Chain A
Amino acid sequence: MTFNEENKKLYIDFLERYFFNFWKGEQKSSYGRPLELNLSPYCSLKCKYCYVNKFREKLYPINVKNDNLLKNTEILLEWLIKNGYNVGEIEIFSGDSFTAAQIDKLYALIFDYAKMFKVSVVVPINPVFAADEEKVNVYVKWRENFSSEGLSLHFSLSMDGKYADIARPFANPNFSYDDKFYEKVSSIAKTFDFGFHPMIAPENIEVWKKNLEWYLDFIQKAFQVPRKTALQKLYLLEVRNPNWTKLRLLQLASFVFFLTKTTFSIYNNDPRAYVEEFIREDKGANFYSGIMSTVGRGFTCSIQEFLTVRVADLTITPCHRVAWPGYESAQFKVQNNKVIAIEPKNPWVHIAILTGRNDAAPFCSHCPINSLCTGVCLGTNLEYNKQPFIPVPNVCQMEFAKHKAIAKSFKILGIWDEYERFMKKKKYYFDSFRKLNQMKYLLEEQQ
């Protein structure tokens, strides 16, 4: 074999072991090996912090056509069926460019496959469709179809909230957010049983205190649930972009204190209930998960679970963000609308990412908060450092400010002792001990 032939064999063998054997049911995993369909790069929103908005032409082939996306999805699903691959879960990751008819066709394709293998589907989605009755009806129809087969079709709503949506303007300047828009979202929230994953970003951090209050009110009203249940529907994500300036970090720290105070009061200022129920069981609306939860993956995002396929050109990429030319892992070779082979492109980066560890990464390996930190976003690193494994210092500072503010707020609000007691009795003592010690370090840190 030549050098290139040997490399091809290596990568195909790797994919077999890492994904296909699981999909064939020959291997079991504590967590799944889902498939992510990375569909359209075009969107009805133009979010200020969105990497696609900034680097669209680098991340996708130019002039992506919706019809091609549907055709390629069909080709890919047929390949899965032909090989008997059960991916367990499909995540539909996409901008917002499909018409109602195209959405209908897409879900029909996915439904046929999902029914065959009992596959669940997760869809992170922006709320703009709420204003389009036709689209709402299509989605409702497919939710019912999935449900009738005992399958899950879950929508996680990407909406930052009435105040924080300043960071998410409409692509069409003729549209803008108003109370009517949020009323429409509210009116369908229960039907779709939305989860919410708003972004806390440098672009909107200054309004997040009042935004949090608004969001909790909104969910409470939409679902007619108590505030505690409303809080459980929130999955707060911090944007790991490099524009966290000193001022923004101070605003973040102030917000974190407010968040702790607000959520603590929802738990009646009871430290034990707060720590055991909110932080441990509910993962602290995701925002506090790093201070307690241990993740069994090398990198903290789901990059090591998913096989991501950029549907536009049927290319496997490490994730939707690490998808630049040169970083594409492989491409499905298609003939007569059928996949006939997988052609490796850059297997090295994919292998390194799927098997790497956050705490072995440069700088992270000896960082004093490496067990608390959400971890690097390889995409951000690639965009700004031009290297995926070396963290961007501003993002590190954001993690530092966030966790320091959590530690301080726990101390000031009287949660700390309970947190310490809980961490000391945890099953995986070494991990907890490390986290606790790093939190203590942050408490004492003066900067």
Chain B
Amino acid sequence: MIDVDVLILYVSDVCNLRCTYCLWPKEEKVMITKNKNIRQKIATGEYFKKIKENVDTSHIHTLDLWGGEPTLNFDVFIPALKEHLSMFPNLKRISFSTNISKDFIVSNIIWFIKEFTPSFNLDIQLSLDGPSFINDETRINSTSSEIANNIFRLNDFLKSYEHTKCIYVDIKSTLNAGSINKLSNEDNLYKYFDFFDKCIDRCNISFGMSYVFPGEYTQENGYQYAKIINLLLYKWYKKNIKFKNIKMPYEDQHVLHVRKTIEAIIRLKRRQYVGEFIATSVCSVGDKRIAIDVDGNLRICHGVFFYYDELKTDYSTYENYLKHNMIAFNKLDKLRLMHNSAGIHNNVEFRGTYHQVLATELALSGQISKIYLKEPALLKMLAFVVSRHHCISDNIVNTGDMMLMDTSYLKLLGNGAFELITKYLGSKYDI
């Protein structure tokens, strides 16, 4: 029996959008068949029975709901969860991310909120990539204006709802290589922030930028990203360009992460919070968190829900063999899964060393700035920040190894952006 704090549930295998950067396979037939199975196992309570058989639920304080688009199956999931809530005596929080692209999704979210508050805290992440020239190009089958209107509708409900204190909602914008290239144009970048500024003004929901990773970024994408950072940290700073509701420049994911890294290093220097420093990873695999599918198979994280059951027997390709590493179909698998996840999580050193080498090789090959050959401290810091971003399921797909990231992220940051960020933050922190 595996004892975890956070349990990730596979609530849906279908999605109404076809985002260009989504790694979920979109074979209609497979999705529909698989989703039918998911709905049935949820509705009959089979899913919860499997959870009980495989996981010690007594310490679980958080349920993370994943898919597909989880809200599409809320019609069966909400009644089923209500019925089996007693399985989770210490449950405090439920979270999910939604594309909020349709009217009925808003209705489902509101239904969910009404059913589970104030008993539990809810974290709801709303995906909106930006104004139409960004969002409508990446989040196919949705429009920026439709999503924004749905967010406003949800907000109108929240304004009048009595238990809003236990609900945390935020908007997440995800940017890919194409979006970065567009935003490196100053006018576009202004329109992007202005769009979110106006959104927040109307709905008072916080906003954060993130980047698709690994994302297959090239050196050219790195230059474009450096232009964005230059605008955010230097040009606009000098011109005093500000937005009413956006904390510039910390809404940029990397600026924020580097800032947190610097703060962690400063704390480490003061011999404080060593554990926090070591644990600083975007990925929480190994952190007493496990995913479980409707058939009771444990999976290392939500990123591997889409590796299907045929992996049980199909070892004809090594890709399947590797993916199998992240899924436990039997007792021995479980042991290995927990062993490996502990190994990944506890190891900053290996990833840090690897990324230092990779950054050095990239610099020698002329694919990131040569400054990393001259400034070992900067190189180490870049490697550490990149290491924090590793996603094990993406790593398996891209490098064949759960701990090794490809060059994409180093190229995004290492072609000017990281230097600008560290220079800016260095002056703020006097280092």
Q: Add 4 more A-B contacts to A10-B407, A326-B317, A349-B399 (CB < 8 A).
A: A326-B321, A355-B357, A361-B350, A387-B402
B343/A363 in contact, CB under 8 A:
yes
- With A and B bound together, what is the CA distance between A242 and B28 in angstroms? 42
Across the interface, B318 reaches (CB within 8 A) one of A2, A327, A355, A362, namely A327
Query: Which candidate, A228-236, A388-396, A399-407, A428-436, is the interface stretch facing chain B?
Result: A388-396
Contacts of B317 in A (CB 8 A): 325-326
For window 1-33 of A, CB contacts with B under 8 Å fall at 1-3, 6-7, 9-10, 13-14, 17
A360/B349 in contact, CB under 8 A:
yes
List residues of chain B with CB under 8 Å of any chain A CB.
216-219, 317-319, 321-322, 324-325, 336, 339-340, 342-344, 346-347, 349-350, 352-354, 357-358, 361-362, 364-365, 367, 398-404, 406-408, 411
B339/A390 in contact, CB under 8 A:
yes
- With A and B bound together, what is the CA distance between A10 and B318 in angstroms? 24
- With A and B bound together, what is the CA distance between A325 and B318 in angstroms? 6
CB proximity of B205 to chain A, nearest CB, Å:
35
Contacts of A95 in B (CB 8 A): none
- Let me know if A385 is at the binding interface, CB within 8 A: yes
CB proximity of A16 to chain B, nearest CB, Å:
10
- With A and B bound together, what is the CA distance between A7 and B402 in angstroms? 19
- Let me know if A386 is at the binding interface, CB within 8 A: yes
Contacts of A365 in B (CB 8 A): 347, 349-350
Contacts of A389 in B (CB 8 A): 343, 350, 401, 403
B347/A13 in contact, CB under 8 A:
no
- With A and B bound together, what is the CA distance between A366 and B399 in angstroms? 26
- With A and B bound together, what is the CA distance between A243 and B343 in angstroms? 21
A9/B367 in contact, CB under 8 A:
yes
CB proximity of B309 to chain A, nearest CB, Å:
18
Contacts of B325 in A (CB 8 A): 385-387
Contacts of A385 in B (CB 8 A): 325, 336, 339-340
Contacts of B411 in A (CB 8 A): 6
- With A and B bound together, what is the CA distance between A346 and B406 in angstroms? 10
Chain B contact surface mostly: helix
- With A and B bound together, what is the CA distance between A58 and B357 in angstroms? 29
Across the interface, B361 reaches (CB within 8 A) one of A351, A363, A390, A393, namely A351
A393/B339 in contact, CB under 8 A:
yes
Known: A3-B218, A346-B399. A10 touches B367 (CB 8 A): yes
Contacts of B401 in A (CB 8 A): 348-349, 352, 387-389
Contacts of A352 in B (CB 8 A): 354, 357, 401, 404
Chain A contact surface mostly: helix
In the complex formed, the residue of A with least CB distance to B354 is A352
A324/B365 in contact, CB under 8 A:
no
B361/A13 in contact, CB under 8 A:
yes
CB proximity of A372 to chain B, nearest CB, Å:
19
B318/A326 in contact, CB under 8 A:
yes
- With A and B bound together, what is the CA distance between A387 and B352 in angstroms? 18
- With A and B bound together, what is the CA distance between A387 and B353 in angstroms? 17
- With A and B bound together, what is the CA distance between A435 and B116 in angstroms? 57
Known: A3-B408, A13-B361, A348-B404. A360 touches B350 (CB 8 A): yes
CB proximity of B378 to chain A, nearest CB, Å:
19
CB proximity of A158 to chain B, nearest CB, Å:
28
- With A and B bound together, what is the CA distance between A9 and B364 in angstroms? 11
In the complex formed, the residue of B with least CB distance to A17 is B364
Q: Which 4 A-B pairs have the closest CB atoms?
A: A362-B343, A386-B325, A326-B318, A348-B399
- Let me know if A357 is at the binding interface, CB within 8 A: yes
B403/A10 in contact, CB under 8 A:
no
Contacts of A366 in B (CB 8 A): 346
- Let me know if A356 is at the binding interface, CB within 8 A: yes
In the complex formed, the residue of A with least CB distance to B326 is A386
Contacts of A393 in B (CB 8 A): 339
B357/A349 in contact, CB under 8 A:
no
- With A and B bound together, what is the CA distance between A366 and B343 in angstroms? 11
Contacts of B399 in A (CB 8 A): 346, 348-349
CB proximity of A362 to chain B, nearest CB, Å:
3
- With A and B bound together, what is the CA distance between A366 and B218 in angstroms? 36
List residues of chain A with CB under 8 Å of any chain B CB.
1-3, 6-7, 9-10, 13-14, 17, 58, 324-327, 346, 348-349, 351-352, 355-357, 360-363, 365-366, 384-390, 393
A362/B350 in contact, CB under 8 A:
yes
- With A and B bound together, what is the CA distance between A361 and B353 in angstroms? 10
- With A and B bound together, what is the CA distance between A300 and B284 in angstroms? 31
CB proximity of A315 to chain B, nearest CB, Å:
13
Across the interface, B353 reaches (CB within 8 A) one of A3, A357, A388, A390, namely A357
- With A and B bound together, what is the CA distance between A363 and B404 in angstroms? 17
In the complex formed, the residue of A with least CB distance to B333 is A386
CB proximity of B389 to chain A, nearest CB, Å:
15
Across the interface, A7 reaches (CB within 8 A) one of B319, B336, B403, B407, namely B407
Known: A6-B407, A325-B317, A365-B350. A351 touches B364 (CB 8 A): no
Contacts of B357 in A (CB 8 A): 351-352, 355-356
Contacts of A58 in B (CB 8 A): 318
CB proximity of B8 to chain A, nearest CB, Å:
21
B362/A10 in contact, CB under 8 A:
yes
In the complex formed, the residue of B with least CB distance to A3 is B216
A10/B347 in contact, CB under 8 A:
no
- With A and B bound together, what is the CA distance between A144 and B352 in angstroms? 50
- With A and B bound together, what is the CA distance between A7 and B217 in angstroms? 11
A327/B336 in contact, CB under 8 A:
no
Contacts of A10 in B (CB 8 A): 361-362, 365, 367, 407
- With A and B bound together, what is the CA distance between A365 and B399 in angstroms? 23
Across the interface, B344 reaches (CB within 8 A) one of A324, A360, A362, A384, namely A362
CB proximity of A12 to chain B, nearest CB, Å:
9
CB proximity of A56 to chain B, nearest CB, Å:
14
Known: A13-B365, A348-B404, A386-B324. A6 touches B219 (CB 8 A): yes
A–B pairs, 28, beta carbons within 8 Å: A3-B218, A6-B219, A6-B411, A14-B361, A17-B364, A326-B321, A326-B322, A326-B400, A327-B318, A348-B404, A349-B404, A351-B357, A351-B361, A356-B354, A357-B353, A360-B347, A361-B350, A362-B342, A362-B343, A362-B350, A362-B403, A366-B346, A384-B336, A386-B325, A386-B340, A389-B343, A389-B350, A393-B339
Contacts of A346 in B (CB 8 A): 399-400
CB proximity of A365 to chain B, nearest CB, Å:
5
CB proximity of B348 to chain A, nearest CB, Å:
9
CB proximity of A290 to chain B, nearest CB, Å:
21
CB proximity of B397 to chain A, nearest CB, Å:
11
A324/B321 in contact, CB under 8 A:
yes
- With A and B bound together, what is the CA distance between A207 and B175 in angstroms? 63
A348/B406 in contact, CB under 8 A:
yes
CB proximity of B361 to chain A, nearest CB, Å:
5
Contacts of B216 in A (CB 8 A): 3
- With A and B bound together, what is the CA distance between A415 and B118 in angstroms? 70
In the complex formed, the residue of B with least CB distance to A326 is B318
Contacts of A326 in B (CB 8 A): 317-319, 321-322, 400
Task: Kindly name the residue among A58, A356, A357, A360 whose own CB sees the greatest number of chain B CB atoms within 10 A.
Answer: A360
A349/B400 in contact, CB under 8 A:
yes
Contacts of B402 in A (CB 8 A): 387
Contacts of B404 in A (CB 8 A): 348-349, 352
Contacts of B343 in A (CB 8 A): 362-363, 387, 389-390
- With A and B bound together, what is the CA distance between A3 and B350 in angstroms? 25
